[in-house]
């Protein structure tokens, strides 16, 4: 059984990990172990000496040996003798903030819990058990349900929290973490993923010093600046060995992740909703549900931790029927035309794309209202037939007649001041009373906390899809939220606005993706600003970054890969000089990098010369042949581009028969050895034939000594090397 309860000990087992909690003599739920799998009660390693200036529970009377401030706790409340970061902070009617949670009851069920109104993992194939531990405050009827979903085969434990108010007065929540993890020592470093627009998810590894380390977003979205996940890794942990813990929040709004090293050199890590501009009132008889967090542990290094997350997100987070389908190779007109197009120009691009073998034409921004630049018409989702010089349906039909699919860009959450919608419904805009709203990209934000707005948007976009036969939707969001006030909420509810906004986004995404399951949705937020597990629940792929420069994408896609599968990563070949960096890279290199994703093109194909078009035809055929391996195979990071001259990664089929190595050598270094990479994930005793020249290598040689890459002159040189395992050793020669 994945969940075992015996003698006040809760043991949650996966194939390779054990998570344990224990109720002590005072009813406090202690966290005793999360790590490598063992076969005993791990509370024997607890050591709590008397510590001066650590307050003691009232229950302990004259004893000074018991303090919550020193113990490893499962879900710490605030205000009762624990001076460390709390997981939950509330206040009651008299303004006091003390919360003393003690064990109340538990329940085990043979299915996965669900979270109303929020994206969450689901059971899928295989068996999942849920443990619900209910904690209760010692004074008030405040109940906290701790939910644990145990995915045994996947080495995943999910966490969620529900706060129930059974008092007769309102309860105010000031902070709620979805998961908290106390560890007994401090031999860890924090890995997190920071960035900015067009340079998202830059991996950073930092030591944990005394005090608190935190990342988060105050922007109303998970943001370009910080991704809602972190990894705790032993100092000696590498890609292929060592302990690593992952914590990933299934949420797309403002969040907070904290790590604290205490006076006993113990660590506390927690992740949940952002605390700034957050306060939620739970009325008597009501409850509040916090988002889900996904936890995973491995002894086998960062690469294995990533593969556990990749598989879990594919099988248990992304609910779209496209998750295992081969995605269409697309052409997006944005970098080819920006706002300057008509139907004739779009058809020229589509005709060329058809001739080259592309599956899907995507019409980006500028097709609606009076949209000739980015300062008007958001909210007016009526086709500008004068600009297109034809009805949209006619354009769609002509592209369908080419045996291509048609996709379109939308930005549901935004509104322009220069729009009919703003004129008709100024009350639908987020803005503080008596203040002018902050502009960003000359657009304002719709009040997604208002159910009327959600109803309106569903009707508008359902009509767009149904009337025109749309096959693909690119859902964008091009600014952060800065005016934290919803006209649809009362003054005392304004602290709820950001979370209610996100619930509204999820509601709309749920309605549209459920209503149109055959439409492929791709998420976008100024590129990868909201690339998270919450949005991936609804959208099976996400635009990785607005930076399409192949060199920069090596770093962006490297950081993205720590949590998110390649099959969810939108990546395109764009024009050179690159529109974001001005860099010139070869068409070959641009394709190599873009193939580590859903693959497509974002340039004017009709402007390519014949030699380039022939190369595009070969690239498309090449990707089709490799697509299943890329999207369904196991992914391995072979180098760290932050410290090496090579960014290399590989895909290995589940049966270890097929191997694809992709790499970019950043610069040629004169008078130096060839660039070199060591492979991973092969059958150690197997033999592999290199496709390019037929040479044979043993699996253990490739994983111990590796291979050389070419040493061509130039910068940002991209390569692909394929291997296939042979059935037997016939004609094997030493190379």
Annotated catalytic residue within 152, 359, 365, 532: 532
Q: Using DSSP, state whether 272 is helix, strand or coil.
A: strand
Determine whether 612 is an active site residue. yes
Residue 44 in tokens: 């024997």
Peptide linkage before 577 cis (omega within 30 of 0): yes
DSSP assignment letter at 701: H
DSSP 135-171: EEESSS-EEEEEEEEEETTTTEEEEEEEEEE-SSS-E
CA distance 699 to 707: 12
Residue 382 in tokens: 């009526």
Q: Which residue has the tokens 């009327």?
A: 452
Kindly state the helix (H) or strand (E) to which residue 454 belongs, with its residue range.
helix 451-468
Kindly state the helix (H) or strand (E) to which residue 515 belongs, with its residue range.
helix 497-515
CB 237 within 8 A of CB 190: no
Nearest to 71, CA basis, from 88, 91, 54: 54
Q: Using DSSP, state whether 453 is helix, strand or coil.
A: helix
CA distance 477 to 530: 8
CA distance 658 to 590: 23
Annotated catalytic residue within 265, 452, 612, 712: 612
CA distance 294 to 302: 16
Determine whether 655 is an active site residue. no
CA distance 647 to 662: 8
CA distance 475 to 571: 16
CA distances in angstroms from 4 to 28, 29, 34, 41, 590, listed in the order given = 19, 16, 15, 11, 51
Strands 292-298 and 244-250: antiparallel
Contacts of 95 (CB under 8 A, 6+ apart): none
Distance between alpha carbon 118 and the CA centroid of its chain, in Å?
15
Catalytically active residues are 532, 612
């Amino acid at each position: 059984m994945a969940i075992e309860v015996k003698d006040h000990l809760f043991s949650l087992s996966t194939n390779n990990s054990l998570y344990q909690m224990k109720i002590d003599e005072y009813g406090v739920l202690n966290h005793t172990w999360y790590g490598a799998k063992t076969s005993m009660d791990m509370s024997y390693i607890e050591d709590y000496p008397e510590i001066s200036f650590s307050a003691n529970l009232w229950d302990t009377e004259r004893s000074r040996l018991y303090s919550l401030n020193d113990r490893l706790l499962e879900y710490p409340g605030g205000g009762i003798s624990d001076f460390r970061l709390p997981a939950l902070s509330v206040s009651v009617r008299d303004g006091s903030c003390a919360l003393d949670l003690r064990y109340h009851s538990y329940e085990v069920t043979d299915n996965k819990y669900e979270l109303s109104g929020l994206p969450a993992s689901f059971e899928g194939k295989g068996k999942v058990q849920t443990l619900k531990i209910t904690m209760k405050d010692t004074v008030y009827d405040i109940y906290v349900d701790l939910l644990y979903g145990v995915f045994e085969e996947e080495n995943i434990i999910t966490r969620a929290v529900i706060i129930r108010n059974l008092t007769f007065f309102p309860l105010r929540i000031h902070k709620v973490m979805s998961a908290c993890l106390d560890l007994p020592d401090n031999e860890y470093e924090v890995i997190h993923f920071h960035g900015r627009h067009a340079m998202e998810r830059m991996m950073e590894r930092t030591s944990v010093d005394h005090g608190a380390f935190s990342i988060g977003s105050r922007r109303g979205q998970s943001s370009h600046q910080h991704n809602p996940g972190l990894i705790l890794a032993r100092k000696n942990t590498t890609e292929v060995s060592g302990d690593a813990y992952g914590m990933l929040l299934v949420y797309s709004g403002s969040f907070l992740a904290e790590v604290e090293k205490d006076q006993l050199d113990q660590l506390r890590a927690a992740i949940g909703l952002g605390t700034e501009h957050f306060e939620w009132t739970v009325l008597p008889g009501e409850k509040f549900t916090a988002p889900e967090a996904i936890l995973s542990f491995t002894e086998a290094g960062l690469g294995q931790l990533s593969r556990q997350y990749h598989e879990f997100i594919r099988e248990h987070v992304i609910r779209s029927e496209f998750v295992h389908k081969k995605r269409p190779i697309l052409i997006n007109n944005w970098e080819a035309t920006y706002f300057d197009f008509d139907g004739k120009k779009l058809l020229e691009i589509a005709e060329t794309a058809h001739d080259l073998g592309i599956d899907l034409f995507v019409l980006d921004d500028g097709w609606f209202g009076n949209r000739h630049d980015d300062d008007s018409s958001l909210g007016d989702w009526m086709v500008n037939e004068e600009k297109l010089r034809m009805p949209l349906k006619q354009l769609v039909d002509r592209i369908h007649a080419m045996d291509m699919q048609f996709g379109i860009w939308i930005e549901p959450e935004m509104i322009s001041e220069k729009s009919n919608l703003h004129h008709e419904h100024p009350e639908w805009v987020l803005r503080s009373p008596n203040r002018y709203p902050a502009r960003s990209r000359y657009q304002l934000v719709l009040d997604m906390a208002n159910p009327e707005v959600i109803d309106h948007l569903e009707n508008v976009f359902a009509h767009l899809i149904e009337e025109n036969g749309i096959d693909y939707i690119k859902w964008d969001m091009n600014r952060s939220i800065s005016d934290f006030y919803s006209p649809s909420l009362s003054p005392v509810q304004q602290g709820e606005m950001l979370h209610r906004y996100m619930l509204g986004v999820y509601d709309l995404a749920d309605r549209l993706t459920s209503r149109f399951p055959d439409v492929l949705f791709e998420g976008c937020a100024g590129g990868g600003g909201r690339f998270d597990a919450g949005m991936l629940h609804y959208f099976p792929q996400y635009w990785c970054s607005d930076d399409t420069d192949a060199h920069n994408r090596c770093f962006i896609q490297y950081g993205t890969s720590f949590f998110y599968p390649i099959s969810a990563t939108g990546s395109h070949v764009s024009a050179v000089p690159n529109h974001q960096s001005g860099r010139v890279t070869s068409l070959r290199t641009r394709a190599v990098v873009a193939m580590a994703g859903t693959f497509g093109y974002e340039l004017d194909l009709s402007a390519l010369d014949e030699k380039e078009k022939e190369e595009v035809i070969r690239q498309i055929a090449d990707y089709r042949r490799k697509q299943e391996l890329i999207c369904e195979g196991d992914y391995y990071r072979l180098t760290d581009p932050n410290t090496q001259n090579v960014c290399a990664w590989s895909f290995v089929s589940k049966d270890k028969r097929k191997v694809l190595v992709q790499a970019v050598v950043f610069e040629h270094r004169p008078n130096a050895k060839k660039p070199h990479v060591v492979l991973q994930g092969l059958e150690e005793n197997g033999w592999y034939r290199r496709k390019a020249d037929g040479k044979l290598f043993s699996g253990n040689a490739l994983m111990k000594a590796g291979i050389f890459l070419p040493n061509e002159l130039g910068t940002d040189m991209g390569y692909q090397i394929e291997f296939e395992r042979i059935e037997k050793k016939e004609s094997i020669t030493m190379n």
